[in-house]
Amino acid sequence: MHWQCSSFSELSPKALYTILKARAEVFVVEQQCAYLDMDGIDEHSHHLVLYNDFGELAAYSRLVPPNIKFQEPSIGRVLTTRGARRKGFGRQLMQESILRITALYPNAPIRISAQAYLEKFYNDFGFVRVSDNYDEDGIPHLEMLRPNKH
């Protein structure tokens, strides 16, 4: 297993294809949400990928700079692929995402838009609810904030 964190311009065409394919498999096909995944934010973001020992994408998140999606830096498009689930990679992904985004934007709080059923999961990483539930593509979501950790 190994991590790779790349800016958009550092991604090879193959790496970008692999990321977009995984996002489509999870967010469009599995969750049955017809939405435009390519939202113009990718080109401003860093892309964190966990590759398994066979070089396949196991987990992914998008690290978004401040003032792009939210005022604060944010973590989004968090996923583990179907074959990588129930192995602890989701927790590892969030730990690594927090480390990487904190290195990029020191002392900044981190905001996420989370699926509501995952609130407890994100609480475990210091995120707290800061909004009521809202509908995003037919799935209940909420905003959560991880306070600045001086």
pLDDT digits (tens, 9 = 90+) for 94-135: 999 999 999 999 999 999 999 999 999 999 999 999 999 998
Bridge partners (DSSP) of residue 79 are: 60
pLDDT of residue 145 exceeding 70, the answer is yes
Of the candidates 55, 47, 61, 52, which has an alpha carbon nearest to the alpha carbon of residue 16?
47
**In this structure, is residue 20 part of a structural domain?**
yes
Is 75 within 8 Å of 61 (Cβ atoms)? yes
pTM of the model as a whole? 0.92
Of 71, 121, 99, 112, residue with least CA distance to 5:
99
Number of domains in the chain: 1
* Residue 63 belongs to a domain: yes
Task: Find the CATH number of the domain harbouring 42.
Answer: 3.40.630.30
- Exposed/middle/buried for 38, CB within 10 Å: 0-12, 13-18, 19+? exposed
CB distance 142 to 121 below 8 Å: no
Residue 149 is assigned to a structural domain of this protein: no
* Structural domain contains residue 131: no
Residue 47 lies in a domain: yes
Evaluate whether residue 60 is within a structural domain.
yes
Query: Does residue 144 lie within any of the structural domains?
Result: no
Domain-embedded: residue 92: yes
- Residue 27 makes CB contacts below 8 A (sequence gap 6+) with 33, 35, 37, 77, 79
> Does position 150 have pLDDT exceeding 70, yes or no?
no
H runs (alpha helix) in the chain: 13-23, 89-104, 119-123
Range of the domain at 18: 2-109
